Structure 1
Amino acid sequence: MVTTADGTIERVNKAFSDITGYSAEEAIGNRPSLVQSSRHGQSFYAAMWQQLNETGSWSGKVWNRRKSGEVYLQWLTINTLKDEQGTVTHHVAIGRDLTNQRSVRDEPSLFTFKDPLTQLGNRQLFTSRLDQALAEAERNHIRIALMVVDIGRFRQINEQLGLAWGDDILRQQARILQAAVDEADTLVRLQGDMFAIIRHSRAQDAAMAHLADKLLGLMSQPIVLADNNVVSLQPSIGIAVYPRDSEDNAGLLQAAEHAHAMAKRAGRNRFQFVDLRQHDLHHRELNIEHSLHHILNHTDGEGLSLHYQPQVRPVDGKIMAMEALIRWQHPKLGFVSPAEFIPIAEQSGLSVCLDRWVIEQVCLQVAKWHQLPTLVPVVSVNLSAPQFSEPDFVEWLQACIKRCGITPECIKLEVTETTMMAHTDNCIAMLGQLRELGFKISLDDFGTGYSALAFLHQFPLDELKIDRTFMVEASQSRRAHLLLKTIVSLAQELSLNLVVEGVEQQEQLDSLADFGPLTVQGYFYYRPMPASEVVALLR
């Protein structure tokens, strides 16, 4: 059968008519669904087209239907034809009727790609798909990942509960794996309790680490059997990546099995990369992510704390404001830098919770300071980009300051230039609303992203904050110094307060002497300090 790219039959041969009962006239202009049976679900055909689109070919056994209504088994190979520009023009399908082959009726065919116990693919399918995946990866210069998984304690389960229960647990674990992997992945049972997953795309280490961690969590859940026995498994996972760990199928499988053996030796219920450095890095990232999730949702921020760095008016040394900066003392990892855990919070969807924890702690602290017989400056907090996708943020913030007994004028909200430009409409609308309520708005890290001078007049701002890298460049380059002076003049023309970060030396401070009224933040005056030290400073 020859079809167009969109699946319209253009040509069939005599063998097609002999096998199906449809004449060429009946078939041409129709679609291949003409001969489909109802024995395969949509997922079967979706997987077929997925592989066909990715590799250009597909082979396997298919149950089709003759014109008479009889269902027959066919070995089918489909290949894609492309023109010189690489555009798909046709699909060519070659089929062989297997109905009368005794091997098909009486014993598993050499072409069978399905594991009879779990209904997943078997080792033959694995070998075929891995060959295709590596060929595709070599052509397109992409990464392929191979994951070897075992459920753990399988021998003990068979010995204690019997083979029937062991088979049932294998089927359950196969269903868990099948539900967890992507549709584009190849999942097979290699042997015994060993499974393999080929990831044909999105095979970056971080994505594989997340998948492995997810599978460990799902597979290690206690299983309640029909007789109320509870079985707990201890899965292990090894991960190898093409071309980093090997450039051929045998070597890649050997590397994944080696990583799997390392995971088992390390105590089970864990995953292991072949690359130990990457392995340690991603284990640390997952540890940080899990710990953040736990302390934000279950311990009210245990281990997290806030430091405050004053912003000073150089002419008289007066503290005009303070920036709240988060710190984390992890119980096992020790001090974890915000530069490390904040990006992980953003990637894992925890940044909104982290922002709100910081804001609430700041509001509570400001309320305590207001009980002192001294003037408390405004305190600034940083907002992450995902906060602007939260429709309840304005209402939440209003409720927070009301609950703490302070006013909006006590809080300054800092938004990075990159966030502002990437979410312009949402930012302008939300920040405009917050500014009308009395909150101060500061554009943070100016000079590191778009440096969108032309857009400054559109943003609802009270303050422009020059990033420390800009200050460093200005102290080393006359051109950068002139540009900084221009930005200062523009901010003053727009009636914006100006904060210059990263002032650490007298020379840097002196270079700002003729810039007019501004505020500086940096180690020259104060390092970030805990709230207890702020009290003494304010007094």
Structure 2
Amino acid sequence: MQEREHRFPANRRSADKKSLSSADAESMEIKLEIYKTLFEATSDAMMIADESTRILYVNPAFTNITGYTEQDVLGKTPRILSSGKQDIHFYRRMWQSITTNKRWQGEIWNKKKSGDIFPAWQTINVIGEEGKPAHYISVFSDISQIKKSQADLWTLAHYDSLTGLANRSLLEERIKQELATTIRFKIYGALFFLDLDNFKTINDSLGHKVGDLLLRQVADRLRRELREEDMIARLGGDEFVIVLSNLSYDKAIASNQLKVVAEKILDLLLMPYLLEGHELRVSVSIGITLFPNNGDTFDHLLRQADTAMYAAKNSGKNTYCFFHPDMQDKVNQRLQLEKELRNALVHDHLGLVYQPQFNFNQQLLGYEALVRWHHPEQGVISPQDFIPLAEETGLIAQIGSQVLTKACQQWVAWHRAGKNVPHISVNISPKQFSSPGFVDLVSGIVESTKVDPRHIILEITEGLIVQNVKGIIEKMHALKQLGLRFSIDDFGTGYSSLSYLTRLPIDQLKIDKTFVVNLGINDNDAVIVETIIGMSKHLKLDLIAEGVETWEQLEHLYRCGCDGFQGYYFSKPLNRDDI
């Protein structure tokens, strides 16, 4: 049956056209035509009800949105749209506003003819005379898409797009809630800070696609293992945080519960992963802090768990560690040292000393430049105390640049003063050597200092070589073309390989002092030293034995064929003015 056309209500006052002039009647007709067009053309649903709230008229948009035709709803009340999601208190507040203000506006859930419910933004106005309602006019629109967009934006703002886990923002909200709960009910909660061990190696060797797949699988495993009330978040990279709530009222019991959970996570994440045809095993280091005792803010707890996580890594990785206040003291000391080290770089507080290298007849072979920090309050600080920090913070590149520059300048100064210095050796950190602009940096230093590069030896470690053999060799050749020479420092302690040695454009090997100190005590070390000496002779490489402190060590090395020595037997490191 053909649907009846939607009717637009006539104005009662215009019905008696005899009381209007011709011009007024024509104007009224135009207005009615405009109102009719608006009523029928608007995309918002419109519904007009009488003083008893029985529906008199609906427009086409009402049918489009709700699925109800005009015949379906005429004579019925708006309750036909009731979804059941709002309680009686909601409707009481609505009618109070309609009665008092002649108007209500707000968000409401309506139900379609199909039974589907949808959110609507609705406005109800009262039209009447002498304070009595004559009609109710309701206008509403379906805001489902708006609500979905808002939900999508909220999800983007609070969840990690890669793993679907909570992000830092949502984690912070949860921690604030948990802190309030634990303080109120005097029950313990905890924060786990997880960092995958050697994740960067996987990313660099197998690519970011495999790295991302690994992160997703880690997230999936954690979801399956933990309770629903526990929150798992990804801060970024390979860092995950877990919030464990409602543990125990007793700290010792809570700690034991956390140990059990931590050990399960270690075992769970160590199980093999099959990713793009690669079977991988990845361990994790976990830092744990309890609350509310250890801290009262999100930042405090996160820093504490992070500190404990680094303690776990320093303990050998694939383990967990609880935060202790002493750890924070060490972190504060480290931060202070970093601040002072940056200040030392700015104010030129880093200087060089030079340890001579001799042959058996005590003829000078050269010097090794060693950095010292002249602290204005603490005096001279050993590189063992600040170089590891410089490596971690990235300051090593700036330190390395200053050291190389000063060593080159010193050789030039000695040369101009008529002193014969065969060479100066300078240690180059792996991070500095691996930086993209290292060759250009060295070239610039050579050019600016006017040093003869044939008298500068760059000392690199074995560990650097295996990181990227092809790239390292290319850099070494580029630097060799400038005239510089190369030495492998601490040889025998790392990843020694004849295949590397035969490919590397090196000039010198240095026997590590850990082998030298045990000569005459440990036969295995003696065999290693003799092997290195024989290897260097076959490869026609110069040789320096480090850490020579006694005549017995010197004589043993010389008897085995070594004729280059460095150590306190000959001289401690010297200031330039003492040379």
Contact 1:503 1:509 in 2 (8 A): yes
Take 2:227 and 2:309, find their aligned partners in 1: how far apart are those partners?
38
Alignment pair present for 1:388 and 2:433 = yes
Q: Distance in 2 between matches of 1:524 and 1:91?
A: 61
Cα separation, partners in 2 of 1:132 and 1:518, compared to 1, 3 Å: farther
Name 2:37's counterpart in structure 1: none
Cα distance in 2 for partners of 1:201, 1:281 equals: 12
Give the secondary structure class of the aligned counterpart of 2:356.
strand
- Please state if 1:199 is matched with 2:302: yes
Give the counterpart of 1:293 among 342, 345, 351. 342
User: Pairwise mapping of residues 156-167 of structure 1 onto structure 2 (< 5 A)?
Assistant: none
Residues 48-82 of structure 1, C-alpha deviations (whole Å, 9 max, x = no match)? 942599x9xx999xxxxxxxxxxxxxxxxxxxxx9
The residue number in structure 2 matching 1:323 is: 368
Shift of 1:516: 2.5
Structure 2 contact 397–432 (Cα < 8 Å) conserved = yes
Asked if structure 2 preserves the Cα contact closer than 8 Å seen for 1:146 and 1:197, the reply is no
Question: Is 1:140 the counterpart of 2:262 in the alignment?
Answer: yes
Query: Could you tell me the TM-score, scaled by structure 2's length?
Result: 0.52
C-alpha separation between the residues in 2 aligned to 1:488 and 1:373?
A: 34
Gaps of 5+ in 2: 1-82, 86-108, 118-143, 176-216, 230-241, 248-253, 264-285, 312-319
- Is 1:312 the counterpart of 2:358? The answer is yes
> Match for 1:485: what amino acid?
E
User: Do the aligned residues in 1 keep the contact of 2:358 with 2:366 (CA within 8 Å)?
Assistant: yes
The residue type equivalent to 2:398 in the other structure is C
Q: Deviations over 1:483-521 (max 9, x none)?
A: 311221111111111111111001111112322252011
- Unaligned runs of 5+ residues in structure 1 are 1-16, 27-31, 61-81, 95-127, 150-186, 209-241, 246-273, 535-539
Partner of 1:487: 532
**Conserved 8 A contact 2:545-2:562:** no
Please say if 1:44 is aligned against 2:158.
yes
**Which one-letter code corresponds to 1:44 in the other structure?**
H
2:495 is paired with a residue of what secondary structure? coil
Q: Secondary structure at the match of 1:396?
A: helix
- SS at structure 1 position matched to 2:367: strand
Alignment of 1:44-83 (within 5 A): 44-46=158-160, 49-51=164-166
Q: Which residue of 1 aligns with 2:11?
A: none
Distance 1:43 1:357 in 2: 44
- 1:173-201 CA-partner distances (Å, limit 9, x unpaired): xxxxxxxxxxxxxx9xx7xxx76654399
Matched, 1:505 2:505: no
Q: CA deviation at 1:328?
A: 1.1
Corresponding pairs, count: 347
CA-based RMSD of the aligned residues comes to 4.3
Question: 1:480: how far off?
Answer: 2.4
Deviations 1:135-187 (A, max 9, x none): 777512443347999xxxxxxxxxxxxxxxxxxxxxxxxxxxxxxxxxxxxx9
Q: Are 2:159 and 2:167, in contact at CA under 8 Å, matched by a contact in 1?
A: no
- Aligned match of 2:412 in 347, 350, 367? 367
AA of the residue aligned to 1:290: K
Q: Does the CA contact (< 8 Å) of 2:486 and 2:506 recur in 1?
A: yes
Q: Tell me the CA shift for residue 394 of structure 1.
A: 1.6
What is the alpha-carbon distance in structure 2 between the residues aligned to residue 363 and residue 377 of structure 1?
13
Structure 1 stretch displaced more, 477-486 or 318-327: 477-486
Identity of aligned residues (%): 30
Given that 1:442 and 1:465 are in contact with CA atoms closer than 8 Å, whether structure 2 keeps it comes out as yes
Inter-partner Cα distance in structure 2 for 1:363 and 1:59:
56
CA contact (8 A) 2:367 2:424 kept: yes
Please say which of residues 369-378 and 440-449 is displaced more in the overlay. Answer: 369-378
SS at match of 2:306: coil
Structure index of larger Rg: 2
Matches within 5 A, 1:213-232: none
Deviations 1:213-243 (A, max 9, x none): xxxxxxxxxxxxxxxxxxxxxxxxxxxxx97
Check 1:59–1:361 CA distance in 2 against 1; reply closer, same or farther (3 A cut). Answer: closer
Deviation at 1:44, TM superposition (A): 2.6
- Looking at structure 1, the residues matched to 378 and 343 of structure 2 have their Cα atoms a distance apart, in angstroms, of 15
Instruction: Write the distance in 2 (CA, Å) between the matches of 1:379 and 1:43.
Output: 56
SS in 2 for 1:373: coil
1:246-297 alpha-carbon deviations (Å, 9 max, x no partner): xxxxxxxxxxxxxxxxxxxxxxxxxxxx62x43442222212211111222x
